[in-house]
Amino acid sequence: MATITHVSTLDYVAKMLGEDPELLEAIVCNDDNLSYGAIISVYMGTDDSITALTDDGIDELKDMLRDARSTPETWHDFLDDFVDDAELVARIKAQSPR
């Protein structure tokens, strides 16, 4: 494994990919969804942290989302399987597919 020299915050990744930040947070909150070491927690104080991804993590996430969007049915199944927040799932399903 190459040395990690930088990471990108989840908010930045969401902007870069044109994705809903809450969707990305819901996906990466389970660290089993991406390879070990792809998700980084950056602690900024006692109770304050942000989530960041390595370049490999961003690539995995892009591939995961691309595959999930292959059909409307697979996209809806993906949302049901990976996102625990029913309100978020309903909001994203209501948006026009890409």
Predicted structure pTM score: 0.88
The answer to whether the Cα torsion of 32, 36, 38, 41 is positive or negative is: positive
Query: Using an 8 Å Cβ cutoff, are 23 and 68 in contact?
Result: no
Contact 92, 79 (CB under 8 A): yes
Question: What pLDDT tens digit does each residue of the chain (98 aa) get?
Answer: 678 889 999 999 999 999 999 999 999 998 888 899 899 999 998 889 999 999 999 999 999 999 999 999 999 999 999 999 999 999 999 987 67
**7 close to 53: Cβ distance less than 8 angstroms:** yes
Residue 4's pLDDT is: 87
Check residue 72 and give its pLDDT.
92
Q: What pLDDT score does 59 carry?
A: 96
